Structure 1
Amino acid sequence: MHIRPVAAVTGALVGLTAFSLPAAAAQAADHPHRPVTVAHRGASAYAPENTIASINAAHRMGIDWVENDVQRTKDGKLIVMHDTTLNRTTNVEELYPNRSPWKISDFTLGEIRKLDAGSWFGEKFKGERVPTLERYMDAVSHNHQKLLLELKSPELYPGIEAQTIKELRREGWMDRQHVKRRLIIQSFNGDSVKKVHELRPDIKTGFLGTPAVADLPKYAQFTDQINPSHTSINMAYVSAVHAFEGAHGRPLEVYTWTVNDAATAKKVAGWGVDGIITNKPDVVRDAVKDAGFQVPAA
């Protein structure tokens, strides 16, 4: 079991039942390191999510970390999209009206390439396309950004873990520098996270969710992060997670989502989270900067 001092865990467990938030000044003093700001599906409050336009918007803001979602087409190609269906963020219903429920896995890459993935967000993004993972990685590399990659619903796509790693290798992202400093792979599916760890133990991984503290030891065997919704945690939970050592022998981290306002960003930063995933990365970055948190060491 990867575990840090027992007293820390015990105190955190007690705190989960009765917790009151300290003053902002105390928060800053207790947690001096500024959490990483991660652009959720790119700067998705300002450009259509999971598109090249969205990560470019984050780049213009000076945001290093972007998050995306990877899925697989009918003909086995990897694309970047959040929903398992195409209709919310493209014009698929217009182009293919008789193919409800418009599942990604029912469409070939050639068909998906014809879709407009920008007009739903705004006229200026008309013609924006659903990117392949290859094209997306080219843009991330060009921008010198870092990637929090989510395997979305991997239970629908057997073998997607190995396929994604293979694609990342083709894009030059499996060398030591990228794996150590520029890449995290996460999923809501614990078995998928475990599979990534088995295939490439050097890759940093994250589990999306809020496991019970009693279950953290089993997650710590194959993951480096516990990444919960900010609405499901408090300072005591963050401390409890930090009390365990993850798969690489360092304290488990907490990247929380989806925080889009300054007040909440300051609150969760005060709880000691290591990263904040947000649709408005400029707002979050500026909020934690203004609160006086220090930039974490590389």
Structure 2
Amino acid sequence: MMLSISRTCLRGIYSCHWTSPKGDRNRACCWLSFLSFVSILALSWMYVCFIAFNDHNDVNCEAFKALKKWVNWYMIVMIISAVLATYCLLLLVFGLLHLAIREPLDLHWLHKVFLFLGLLTVTLGTAGFCIKWKEEWQTIYMSFQATAPFLQLGAVVALTLISWLVFQSYHTAQTAACKVFIMVTFLVVSAAVFLCPLAICSPCITSNLPPKPALVGHRGAPMLAPENTMMSFRKSMECGVVAFETDVQLSKDMKPFLMHDDGPSFLLRTTDVKETFLGRDADMHANFTLQELQTLNAGEWFIRTDPFKSVSSLSKEDKREANNQTVPSLSELLVMAKKHNVSLLFDLKNEKNSTGFHNSDSYYTAETITNSSISPDKIWWLPPEYRHDVRKVSPGFKQMYNNVQEMYADGGSFLNMKYSSLSTHEISELRKNNVSVNLWVVNERWLFSLLWCSGASSVTTNACHIFKSMSKPDWQLEPNMYKGIWISVDVISLLLMFLLFLCQRRRKHVFHPNPRESGVPLLSF
């Protein structure tokens, strides 16, 4: 009785037929194949979205520039992708269960419509990814060094489970050619899955784990406080950062201040300029004096928009403090850095518009740093424009480069690059040559773990409070241990498949229905 009810429920969910339908078996198999194809695409797209989450704030900021309104667009994409992948996988499971219990397949037209919409969604998402964010594909490629061992184990488990249906189709196939095709295809796929660890190269499969990378606070600690505010830098110090990373611009009265966004409307995202200075929200940095900038509220936006979904973790005191932050000057940050012996790394947002060194942001910034009396070796000088002029004025600054060839040509030994610009092998080789490598912006544990295993010297991060508590990478295996796990799982899978093959063979002799009478599509030709 219960079995009959279960079969009826399965049939109703998959096809909306509560009695056994008699449809076209070949067409039903085609729709199952299409469902499998869309499910694989939806899962792959979900994986891409999950891996690219490290840089999701970049997507939201770009959308803000275009729309002038903050919305967490990336989270919306993630939710849609998760719903699509879950729907396709559940439907595929129901379809495979139909095959396993020899129920007829007849996918309902509404499911077919949703599958086409899902395919369209994934296609448009992938196209947008390639057009607007193609550099992120390097991150996807990197991720396989962290996930490939686990993906391979998952593929072995999935292959073992699906083998039941494959062997069922093999034993019920009507012709020898069909049997050969099914078995050869299955063996080729199995060999690829079982042997792919031979091609997996991960820095976390190692006996020698490098030291943990030092942490650099990206605009302070922007998950715990409004970015580029004194509260944010104080919070990052509590994480034990070795350096502050910030962005410097020059005010109308030639005073360096801290602000990431530049160009027209540079204050719109992170301040209340629209309410404080009516009609001036589209002005440039050179239209505001430092005194005017410091009358703005630079923290209320953080509580209101919650860009990292972290505000709920703050105490009432922290929320109150965040609500009352202002735009800091570079001098204020230098005082803090000097007092706590923290280094300073910064971008100059408008340097390319300068007409000469003595009229440039570099000159006024270097002058402000010199007047602060901070130890010169605590300044990690990054801007490439006027680098040699700055070196003459302040020879003690530690020069950082964002290009390997330029660094070697200049006799430098300190790189600051996007985490995906270097392969894990290149990072290891640079460290062997005593080059310090700082990588930005690293926010996810899997990525931090991968770069840790690769030997990165330091990482610039929004998530210093998360990485601070990590005493080891999320995973790291001795090569021999990984080899033992790989071989053991493969052997167990092969044994289970052999038993399933024998079980299906015996079952065939006990019960061998006529497929034409049962209406069951058995994936045969």
What is the aligned counterpart of 2:367 among 166, 169, 182?
166
* Residue 235 (structure 1) aligned with residue 424 (structure 2): yes
Equivalent residue for 1:152, pick from 349, 365, 381: 349
Matched, 1:258 2:452: no
> Percent of pairs identical after alignment?
25
C-alpha change, 1:218 and 1:272, in structure 2 (3 Å) is closer
Q: How does 1:1-298 map to 2 (within 5 A)?
A: 21-26=201-206, 29=208, 32-84=210-262, 85-122=266-303, 124=320, 125-157=322-354, 158-173=359-374, 178-180=375-377, 182-187=378-383, 190-208=384-402, 211=403, 216-217=405-406, 220-221=409-410, 223-239=412-428, 241-242=430-431, 251-287=434-470, 289-291=471-473
Q: Secondary structure at the match of 2:382?
A: strand
Q: For the Cα contact (< 8 Å) 1:230–1:256, is it kept in 2?
A: yes
Question: Which residue identity is paired with 1:201?
Answer: P
Corresponding residue SS for 2:400: strand
Distance 1:117 1:37, change over 3 A: same
Q: Which residue identity is paired with 1:24?
A: C
1:231-288 per-residue CA deviation (whole Å, 9 max, x = no partner) reads: 33211332454577xxxxxx4322101111211101012222111000111222333x
Count of residues in Structure 1 that have an aligned counterpart in Structure 2: 254
1:148 partner SS: strand
Partners of 1:143 and 1:130 lie apart in 2 by 21
Helix, strand or coil at the partner of 1:259:
coil
User: Which 10-residue stretch deviates more, 46-55 or 95-104?
Assistant: 95-104
Is the 8 Å Cα contact of residues 214 and 241 (structure 2) preserved in structure 1?
A: no
> Which deviations, in whole Å up to 9, do the C-alpha atoms of 1:158-200 show, x marking residues without a partner?
4222222221121111xxxx233x321213xx22444433433
Alpha-carbon spacing, 1:201–1:139, altered in 2? closer, same or farther (3 Å): closer
Mark the structure with the bigger radius of gyration: 2
Question: Structure 1 regions of 5+ residues with no counterpart?
Answer: 1-18, 245-250, 293-298
Q: CA RMSD in A?
A: 2.6
Q: State the 1:291 CA deviation.
A: 3.2
Check whether the contact 1:220–1:252 (CA below 8 A) recurs between aligned residues: no
Q: Distance in 1 between matches of 2:461 and 2:246?
A: 12
Give the 4+ runs in structure 1 shifted more than 6 A.
Answer: none
SS of match in other structure, 2:401: strand
Using structure 2 for the length normalisation, give the TM-score. 0.45
CA distance in 1, matches of 2:212, 2:202: 17
TM-score by length of 1: 0.76
In 1, are the aligned partners of 2:241 and 2:464 still within 8 Å (CA)? yes
**Any conservation in 2 of the 1:87–1:102 contact (CA below 8 Å)?**
no
> Which is bigger in relative contact order (C-alpha 8 A, separation at least 6)?
1
Partner of 2:18: none
Cα distance between partner residues in 1 of 2:361 and 2:252: 13
Distance 2:467 2:387 in 1: 27
For the 8 Å contact 2:407–2:413, the answer to whether it is kept is: no
Counterparts in 2 of 1:102 and 1:240: CA distance versus 1, 3 Å:
farther
Contact 2:252 2:287 in 1 (8 A): yes
Contact kept in structure 2, 1:197 and 1:223, CA below 8 Å: no
Separation in structure 1 between the aligned mates of residue 245 and residue 382 of structure 2, nearest angstrom: 10
Q: Is the 8 A contact 1:259 1:284 kept in 2?
A: no
Q: Are the counterparts in 2 of residues 56 and 143 from structure 1 also a CA contact under 8 Å?
A: no
Deviation track 1:77-125 (CA, whole Å, cap 9, x = no partner) reads: 1111111111111111222231242321221112111100011112531
- Write the letter of the residue equivalent to 2:457: D
SS of the aligned residue for 2:210 comes to coil
SS of equivalent to 2:385:
helix
The letter for the 1-side match of 2:473 is: A
Specify the SS of the correspondent of 1:86: coil
CA distance in 2, matches of 1:239, 1:145: 26
Q: Is the 8 A contact 2:239 2:468 kept in 1?
A: no
Amino acid paired to 1:129: T
In structure 2, C-alpha distance between the alignment counterparts of 1:206 and 1:82, rounded to whole Å = 19
By percentage of residues, which structure has more strand?
1
- Which shows bigger deviation, 57-66 or 269-278? 57-66
1:226–1:218 distance in 2 versus 1, CA, 3 Å:
closer
Shift of 1:218: 5.8
Q: Is the 8 A contact 2:407 2:414 kept in 1?
A: no
Q: Secondary structure at the match of 1:121?
A: helix
Name the amino acid aligned to 1:184: W
Partner SS state of residue 99, structure 1: coil
Distance in 2 of aligned mates of 1:40 and 1:222: 27
Check whether the contact 2:243–2:345 (CA below 8 A) recurs between aligned residues. yes
Structure 2: distance between partners of 1:179 and 1:194: 16
Letter aligned with residue 324 of structure 2:
G
Mapped to 2, the partners of 1:290 and 1:218 lie a distance apart of: 31
Are the structure 2 counterparts of residues 285 and 243 from structure 1 closer, same or farther at C-alpha, using a change threshold of 3 Å? same
